[in-house]
Structure 1
Amino acid sequence: MYVFYNNKGIGDVLLIPLKSIDHAKFTYETYNDVVKIIDNETKEVIGYNLFQASSYFSTLENGKLKLDEQLLEELQGIFKKNDVEGTLDIDLSPKFIVGHVIDIAPHENADKLRVCQVDVGTEKLQIVCGAPNVDKDQKVVVAKIGAIMPSGLEIKPSNLRGVDSFGMICSQKELGLPNAPKEKGIYVLPQDTKTGKEFAV
């Protein structure tokens, strides 16, 4: 997970996105320098904006910043100072993982879809995939539930034509990689890539 800071572009504000939304209906709650953003429909917290951000950190670089344990602990302290209601409870486990396709089967209700069983190191996930080049024994990039794609799409459990799917096997384009091929298809990694390793997006 990442937070974002662009002092020249948007000012001295640290953006902390937690979830994506596909509509513009949200409300704000302000706690001194912290603004909590809430989805009107689900009442979920979808993110926070921390104003005067540079005053809280000794160094704060522009760009995309990985939210690790140390930064989360600092933010929790900042939120406490600003009397923010609720806790900043964030799952920091990697959401983009190297997976190993251990089994693949045709979808009963869709010719172009296949049902994949994917080992991601700590668990096995069932993922429905429509890529023409997906195959058994491939090493692939898996976006797990809760992952936020570069496009802003949040990966959620889904049901595709009657089959449950828990994640997405990604293409280079979906991962926002430079020089991604225009042809449809998942990103197949070298066979010696370690299953369960985090994939940096």
Structure 2
Amino acid sequence: MIFAYNPKHVSDTLMVITADDKSMKQATERKGNIARLTTEDGRVIGWNFFDISNEMTIEGVGQVQLTDEQFAQLNELVQKAGFEDVLEKDNTPKFVVGLVKTCVPHEDSDHLSVTEIEVDNGEVLQIVCGAANIRKGLKVVVAKPGAMMPDGLLIWPGELRGVESFGMVCSAKELNLANAPMKRGILELPQDAVVGSAFAIGQ
């Protein structure tokens, strides 16, 4: 679940993104200051909370974090508006330290690699990566499905040249880190970086 808020460039609207909506027709049902976005088959993919500053103060711009109290308040607003849905919060970090367990060339590309990356407690994600410096044994920053990059890009499972990919291996520039090197390539972390630990990105 992604929370996005940008009152200066969008509006005083909290956008809650719950699933990938690419290449899907959307339906919108609005009740008061709340709109529910669904696919044609009825799957909920997001919510818009309009004039949200009348209800709560949100810190930050872009992808934002809500307190447990604010999240509970969103559910109260949903119920009061007449929706029967219950929002379920996911507190797991979406930017984490990963360990590249395997790295092989993509069979249908001269620059892509297919990797298996451990991200936490034995969980391994297959990720297709185009960086020249990706290799087995490297510690990297992984944007897991459900992450929002500093530039607004949303990370969801997908395919690259016919191979499934469940995340993104990030460069320092993509993470908007201070003094990010201009050279191309993913960010290489120290070997003592803890696999699965959260990684703080720039905004």
- How much is the aligned-residue C-alpha RMSD, in angstroms? 2.9
Matching residue of 2:174: 174
Normalised by the length of structure 1, the TM-score is: 0.79
Matched, 1:140 2:172: no
Measured in 2, the distance between the counterparts of 1:4 and 1:108 equals: 37
CA contact (8 A) 2:126 2:164 kept: yes
Measured in 2, the distance between the counterparts of 1:158 and 1:115 equals: 13
Measured in 1, the distance between the counterparts of 2:129 and 2:10 equals: 38
Cα deviation digits, residues 89-134 of structure 1 (max 9, x gap): 3433222211011222233332322222211113012222120011
Match of 1:63 among 61, 76, 79: 61
Measured in 2, the distance between the counterparts of 1:194 and 1:17 equals: 29
Matched, 1:94 2:93: yes
Change (3 A) 1:68 1:125: farther
Change (3 A) 1:39 1:180: farther
Q: Where has structure 1 moved over 6 Å in runs of 4 or more?
A: none
Count of aligned pairs between the two proteins: 199
Measured in 2, the distance between the counterparts of 1:153 and 1:107 equals: 24
Measured in 1, the distance between the counterparts of 2:67 and 2:59 equals: 15
CA contact (8 A) 2:106 2:113 kept: yes
SS at the partner of 1:54?
Answer: helix
CA contact (8 A) 1:19 1:148 kept: no
Q: Specify the code of the residue in structure 1 equivalent to 2:186.
A: I
Measured in 1, the distance between the counterparts of 2:93 and 2:162 equals: 28
Change (3 A) 1:115 1:25: closer
Normalised by the length of structure 2, the TM-score is: 0.78
Which ranges of structure 2 fall in alignment gaps of 5 or more residues? none
SS at the partner of 1:187?
Answer: coil
Which ranges of structure 1 fall in alignment gaps of 5 or more residues? none
Matched, 1:29 2:29: yes
